[in-house]
Amino acid sequence: MPTLHHVAITVPDLDAAIDWYTETLGFTVNRREAETDVDAAAINLPGEDVRLRGVELSTGSDGHSFLELHQFISPTGSVDRRVCDTGISHFALLVDDIHAEYERLSALGVRFSTAPQYIGAGGLAGDWWVYFVDPWGNQLQLVSQPARASN
Q: What average pLDDT does the chain have? A: 90
Percent of the chain with pLDDT over 70: 95
pTM of this prediction exceeds 0.75: yes
8 Å CB contact between 69 and 9 = yes
Q: Are 91 and 113 in contact (CB under 8 A)?
A: no
pLDDT of residue 42: 93
In this chain, the answer to whether the domains covering 6-74 and 91-149 adopt an identical fold is: no
DSSP letter string over 32-73?
Answer: EEEEEEE-TGGGT-TT--EEEEEEEEE-SSSSS-EEEEEEEE
Please, are residues 90 and 100 in contact by the beta-carbon 8 Å criterion? Answer: no
pLDDT of residue 97: 95
Q: In CATH, what number does 6-74 get?
A: 3.30.720
Question: Where are the chain's structural domains?
Answer: 6-74, 91-149
pLDDT at 109 over 80: yes
Predicted confidence (pLDDT) at residue 149 exceeds the cutoff of 70: no
Superfamily, domain 91-149: 2,3-Dihydroxybiphenyl 1,2-Dioxygenase, domain 1 (3.10.180.10)
pLDDT at 98 over 80: yes
pLDDT (tens digit per residue) in 20-52: 999 999 999 999 999 999 999 999 889 989 999
| pLDDT exceeds cutoff 90 at 56 | yes
Q: Which residues contact 90 (CB under 8 A, 6 or more apart)?
A: 83, 131, 139, 140, 141
Grade residue 61 by pLDDT with cuts at 50, 70 and 90. low
